[in-house]
Amino acid sequence: MQKHYVTLPPDAHILVVKLAGIGDLLLATPALRALRDSYPQARIDLLVTPDSAGLLNGWEVINNVIVLDKYLFDYPRQIVTHPQNLLRLRPLWRALRGGRYDAVILMHHLTLPFGRLKYQVLMRATGARWRIGLDNGHGHFLNITVPDNGFGAMHEADYYLALAEATGATSNKTALYVPLTDEERRKAAQLVYGDMAPEEAVRPLIAMHPGSGGYSTARRWSPERFAQLADTLFHDTGGQLLLVGGPEEAPLHQQIISMLRSSIPARSLAGKGSIRVAAAVLEQADLFVGNDSALMHLATAVSTPVVAIFGLTNYKAWGPYTGTAEAAKATVVHLDLPCMPCFYRGHDLGTPEGCATRDCLAQLGVDPVAVAARKMLLQWRKPHGQKVGES
């Protein structure tokens, strides 16, 4: 399958479609930056879901954010049983036509038949001359294509960069990015340090995310292992533990805290602050350890060292993406079972809940994760406050 290119007008109107969660939108930020760097006079609009709509607010790369609740249209039966949902598309239709877009870039794989139909309708609704996307053999409605060789053939962030490159856009800044304000950082500092000065805090500050979001809870390493890991790291390095996640994960955090056998200071920040305040909290940490999730990508975006635990998910597609500058700041710990990955494999969606035994995570012990975590702490420890190894 041949890759095609187009050069857009300098003042082009570009719509980027990324109807996904926070983590996936973060993976699109290097491509968005490449578009802005290469087309500084262009208008670049972004079509996103309500969940991720506020993530990039205030970023100079984006001119306008348009919101579509795609979850109302995930399945054909939703339209049959709730035809009134179609009325909600009227403002979107007006926005798409009124945008007078020269190009629309679809940052999605054409995996499922109904999804392909939705994307085709959406892209044609813009009236854009150039319809740019990944083609796995089903992209007949695209006229600028990048070959889709399957999940994991390239990292998702690299696929999105390739789509930007199809317009001639490039950038030497390939790291993920989340814009943070001084106020968000102030709120994060209050959550992490309270009235204490940051340099007085016990270090290392280890952030752990034992959750995974609701789409696939099968991605979670067991809470017992997270507790054992915290005890192990405290024995080796001292420090304190921050458990991060959404409000629905508070019981999981309390379960882990109850399982701790060491005297490591531990707190839950479940649901405290917005997603960008959470990013600012992670920016303060010396290390992040967690499952495949949006918070893993947030930690990467704020340049915190990351140890990511992967099981059924395709880590070659969705592992922590550091770009070219700080590759050593992130590592993936995983087994190599012949059944892995079973979620997003080749050109197929696979099974979000995995198999009954989930051996890919059940057989992953604490030791390899602890080894990776210690290595990160030794290499990237922060110079202020208590040093690694002091307790």
pTM of model > 0.75: yes
Give the structural domain span for 348.
182-380
For residue 327, what pLDDT is reported? Answer: 73
Amino acid residing at 66: I
Is 310 a domain residue?
A: yes
Q: Do 369 and 275 fall within a single domain?
A: yes
Q: From 116, 132, 165, give the residue that closes a domain.
A: 165
Is 244 a domain residue?
A: yes
User: What is the per-residue pLDDT across 283-322, written as a single tens digit (0 to 9) for each?
Assistant: 999 999 999 999 999 999 999 999 999 999 999 999 999 9
**How far separated are the first and last CA of the chain, in Å rounded?**
58
Q: Distance between CA atoms of 185 and 95, rounded to whole angstroms?
A: 34
Q: Do 158 and 198 fall within a single domain?
A: no
Q: Do 161 and 188 fall within a single domain?
A: no
CB count in 10 Å sphere of residue 367: 11
| Structure tokens that stand for 340 in this block | 């892995």
Q: Distance between CA atoms of 98 and 126, rounded to whole angstroms?
A: 8
Q: Do 244 and 358 fall within a single domain?
A: yes
Listed residue (235, 232, 229, 179) closest to 243, CA to CA: 229
Collapsed DSSP state (helix, strand, coil) of residue 215: coil
75 backbone dihedrals φ, ψ, rounded to 5°: -130, 145
Q: Do 148 and 227 fall within a single domain?
A: no
Q: Do 107 and 237 fall within a single domain?
A: no
Q: Give me the CATH number covering residue 110.
A: 3.40.50.2000
Question: Based on the number of CB atoms within 10 Å of its own CB, is 383 exposed (0-12), middle (13-18) or buried (19 or more)?
Answer: exposed
Q: Do 250 and 368 fall within a single domain?
A: yes
Q: From 165, 191, 207, give the residue that closes a domain.
A: 165
Is 61 a domain residue?
A: yes
205 backbone dihedrals φ, ψ, rounded to 5°: -95, 110
Q: Do 207 and 338 fall within a single domain?
A: yes
Q: Do 89 and 206 fall within a single domain?
A: no
Low-confidence stretches of the chain (pLDDT < 50) are 1-2, 385-391
Listed residue (81, 10, 11, 16) closest to 45, CA to CA: 16
Is 94 a domain residue?
A: yes
Listed residue (205, 193, 159, 199) closest to 34, CA to CA: 159
> Side-chain half-sphere of 292: how many Cα atoms within 13 Å?
24
Amino acid residing at 306: V
Q: Do 20 and 68 fall within a single domain?
A: yes
- Which residues sit opposite 347 in a β-bridge? none
Going by the DSSP 8-state scheme, the letter that residue 151 receives in this structure is B
| Structure tokens that stand for 358 in this block | 């989930």
Q: Do 273 and 228 fall within a single domain?
A: yes
Q: From 130, 165, 200, give the residue that closes a domain.
A: 165
Task: Find the helix or strand (DSSP H, E) in which 189 lies.
Answer: helix 182-193
Is 8 a domain residue?
A: no
Q: Do 251 and 375 fall within a single domain?
A: yes
Q: Distance between CA atoms of 23 and 25, rounded to whole angstroms?
A: 5
Listed residue (318, 319, 316, 284) closest to 303, CA to CA: 284
Number of domains in the chain: 2
| Cβ partners under 8 Å of residue 382, min gap 6 | 203, 204, 286
Is 62 a domain residue?
A: yes
Is 172 a domain residue?
A: no
Contact call for residues 14 and 131 (beta carbons, < 8 A):
no
For residue 4, what pLDDT is reported? Answer: 67
User: What is the per-residue pLDDT across 161-212, written as a single tens digit (0 to 9) for each?
Assistant: 999 999 999 999 999 999 999 999 999 999 999 988 888 899 999 999 999 9
Is 234 a domain residue?
A: yes
Find the farthest-apart pair of alpha carbons in the chain and give their distance in angstroms, rounded: 63
For residue 75, what pLDDT is reported? Answer: 57
Q: Distance between CA atoms of 36 and 333, rounded to whole angstroms?
A: 34
Contact call for residues 333 and 369 (beta carbons, < 8 A):
yes
